[in-house]
Amino acid sequence: MFIFEKKVRFSEVDAAGVVFFARAIEYFHMAYEDFMSSVDLDLHQQFIKAGTALPVVHVEADYKRPMKLGEILSIHVGVESVGTRSYTIQYQIDGPDGTLRVIGKSKHVFVDANFKSASLPDSMKQKLVELNS
């Protein structure tokens, strides 16, 4: 499982010093980008060179405990499932003391240059399947 560390910044919290709930999705995506890059599936190169994309079609988050200003969060990323045209990524955010803060998922669909759903490229699918086992 890939782990991304993120420090909670002042601009990410409310007056009580607690992370605004929608930031969890942002944290998921930051970790997802670095995860994909770490397994040689660089999303930036895919968009620029290939003209294809992997938009999010579903995202969910369950909040267990608040994330607070100054904490270093560990965001765990893994592949939950792989289909013909899409895959689902799972996330777990832990606080510095190891307590579970948020769990979630995001589903991504492969689209071609015309933004129409297409089959995952074989090389991408193979890497994601290997990471799922």
51-95 tens-digit pLDDT: 899 999 999 999 999 999 999 999 999 999 999 999 999 999 999
Contacts of residues 22-29 at CB distance under 8 Å and 24 or more positions apart, as own/partner, are 23/67, 24/61, 24/63, 24/67, 24/93, 24/102, 24/104, 25/59, 25/61, 25/104, 25/106, 27/73, 27/75, 27/93, 27/102, 28/59, 28/61, 28/75, 28/89, 28/91, 28/104, 28/106, 29/56, 29/106
Q: So which residues are the catalytic ones?
A: 14
The pTM (predicted TM-score) of the whole model is 0.93
Q: What are the structural domains, with CATH classification, of the chain?
A: 2-132 (3.10.129.10)
